[in-house]
A and B are shown apart, each in its own frame.
Chain A
């Protein structure tokens, strides 16, 4: 058992490393507090389509990680979700590009629920029948997102950005790709990625550490030897697949989504985190509500409250997505592209940068004030080689030169534009 303290945030993390290889990180919450959150995550997500495991290479259909996340809840004696509900516990799961998480929140029956979660992850139960039924359910989930303009445009935009990288697929895959998922695919994924050595359990909230130790000691067993799979990413050209698409649609407001394809830079896990953080800061400084450019766009009535910009750094695929709805969509596109590709040195001032850092520090405090977000981001940063509490040190190391460097990576020829115009 290792204890780490983060006095700046009044936080401590107690770490257990089990014989079976799983790590458990616990952040106890001072009383009075009712809830306990548990999240088990594996660093296996929608992008991990091509992999080598036990000397063999494998390719799975897009959407497999998400399909697996749905189907691991099937158990020989029924649906695991139901059991969580019967215990009065709220369970959930989510798949992102780079990880899959299973979580529950309890105020009672904590050990029954924890035992059930571990049993569920230790008991793959995939049948032809339950897989076929899940295809219908996930099919409706995909259609629900396709009916949402931001999600459907993002799907289309990613296909304009990427030739080969799995980033071009939606996390849930497509109706066609999920049709290829079967028992063999899911069992193989289970063996390759769900070994306890590949699992991280994060707990936050009310917890009796002595009782927990007794519980986990009874659960822990030596596990079979295991070597993590190697993920392969197809070679991706720097150029775009398609630069511009403009469609007439039966819609109420014009919409634009710009995708800026970035050429990934070299670096280890921490370097990548630092690069992503610097780019996120840069976009906030240039396009956020306290930027002069945002004010100008607003004054010219080019944007409304739908305007957003997000930075997305994945393994070998890095991009920025900007979304807006506007009555003057073509003028907005030109204004955005001209702005992002000019010399922005004067727009990135030291004063704004320092202020923005303060804001980011506040955002970390807001995050750890909410247990669910705290658990999720703790796991996410841990898989990325850090912790949410150490991100602030990284933030302090970032300089204005780092920000300027990130912005200089934006090139006009790598900006794709997808426009939906009112028919």
Chain B
């Protein structure tokens, strides 16, 4: 049980269910929170639960499945406005009861809701090609993560989704309740009475230790995939292997490199590819410290797509020769310190941060993290850049080209 005290105007009740990521379970893990949060034993239809949520001042459930290295995490959160603002003394008790009964204490799941969610997912996949950015990302991952679990979306493959049964979901729900590691977090300004109610509602909660494993394959010979579709703009994704992981001493340096490369409007990619060459509207990079990878993504002009691709690769190659300047490093430090601090003003991020600290077994404060950022040197950056290897290129381009 974790309480996160603050002065926000809402209260969030969250649960995190964690287990080893396994392809056989992905479809069920993804659909389970969707099914759970639509009904419960007191409100047996979606309509009746929705009406109840409206009555609780628009309280709402959000859910997500995420991967942290080799671990799969189901996150479900119920948010309510703070009862003191509304002067409604029953709201907290009602919300706590709802959270408990919807996720933990139920005799049955709704087969109608399951069938509906399954249909929704199948239709989502069938319309995937119409959302080109999302489609390109899934196709890129299929290639970049070849042979790895992450070649399959967290929602599972279409085949796995179609294979799911209601009986299978019920069995899997029991597995999650009985075998997953569980953390409950309540985020908001709670008085002692509220806290004791939460503690009473979730007795016998174990302290978990997590076996997080972060690893990925070695770089291979460059793989290039080009796919044609009817499109107004080419979508480009470039994957690099960067074998620096979240617990490594160079982690902060890798974050700073990503910021310099493509996280801000001052970044190399933004300045060169968009501002100087006018080849795109959006271009950015993202580093994943759980996977040890760095990606570049952009939507580029159809008639200059190859120029854009060459320019991006050349830009990274130049950085491998000339590295970064002291001025760039200082700007990136300011930017990342700002991001760490400003994220502390987001209620949801505080919950997420608390969970990350448990899974990483790293109780560092924000000040500790900022200090680690500020201590990074140009030499650290050089060590990061030296480990970068181009691995996969994916381009979604116009079919008539």
A residues with a Cβ closer than 8 A to B are 8-10, 30, 32-35, 79, 81-82, 84-91, 105-109, 133-134, 136-141, 143-144, 146-149, 205, 250-253, 255, 289-290, 292, 294-295, 298, 301, 304-306, 325, 327, 352, 355-356, 358-363, 365-366, 368-371
Interface contact B57-A149, CB-CB below 8 Å: no
- In whole angstroms, what is the CA distance A337 to B271 when docked? 49
Are B266 and A82 in touch, CB under 8 angstroms?
yes
- Contact present for A88 and B54 (CB under 8 Å): no
> Which of the candidate stretches B42-50, B102-110, B159-167 sits at the interface with the other chain?
B42-50
Name the one of A89, A144, A325, A365 contacting B127, with C-beta atoms under 8 angstroms: A325
Cβ-defined contact, B338 with A369, below 8 A: no
B345 close to A10 (CB less than 8 A): no
Which of B58, B79, B341: most chain A CB closer than 10 A?
Answer: B58
Minimum CB–CB distance from A264 to chain B (whole Å) comes to: 29
A-B pairs with lowest CB-CB distance, top 4: A88-B334, A362-B57, A253-B127, A362-B58
| Other-chain residue from A290, A301, A327 in contact with B50 (beta carbon distance below 8 A) | A290
Once A91-B265, A359-B58 are accepted as A-B contacts, the answer to whether A144 and B282 lie under 8 Å apart by CB is: yes
For B272, list chain A residues within 8 Å (CB): none
Contacts of B6 on A, CB cut-off 8 Å? 32
B194 sits at the interface (CB 8 A): no
Asked if B54 contacts A356 (CB within 8 A), the reply is yes
Q: Identify A34's interface contact among B233, B274, B341, CB under 8 A.
A: B341
Contact of A86 among B85, B120, B334, B347 (CB under 8 A): B334
How many B residues touch A, CB cutoff 8 Å?
68
A141–B123 Cα distance when bound, in Å, is 28
Map CB proximity to A onto B334-352 as digits: 1 under 8 Å, 0 otherwise. Answer: 1101110110111100000
Name, among A140, A143, A147, the residue most crowded by chain B CB atoms within 10 Å (CB to CB).
A140
Nearest chain-A residue to B7 (Cβ)?
A30
Q: Which of B51, B53, B232, B333 contacts A143 (CB 8 A)?
A: B232
Counting CB contacts under 8 A, is B131 at the interface? Answer: yes
Q: Are A138 and B281 in contact (CB under 8 A)?
A: yes
Which of B56, B124, B280 meets A305, CB within 8 Å?
B124
Q: Please tell me if B219 contacts chain A, counting CB pairs below 8 Å.
A: no
Known: A32-B6, A143-B299, A369-B9. 15 other contacts (CB 8 A): A10-B9, A81-B266, A86-B331, A88-B337, A90-B338, A90-B339, A107-B342, A108-B334, A144-B232, A144-B282, A253-B127, A358-B55, A358-B58, A361-B57, A365-B85
Closest partner residue, chain A, to B299 (CB atom): A144
Q: Given the complex of chains A and B, what is the CA–CA distance between A108 and B133 in angstroms? A: 35
Chain B residue nearest to A295 (CB atoms) is B47
Give A251 to B10 CA distance when docked, in angstroms. Answer: 41
A141 to B283, CA, bound (A): 11
Q: Cβ of A352: which chain B residues have Cβ within 8 Å of it?
A: 51
Chain B residues 120 to 139 lying within 8 A of chain A, measured CB to CB, are: 120, 123-124, 126-133
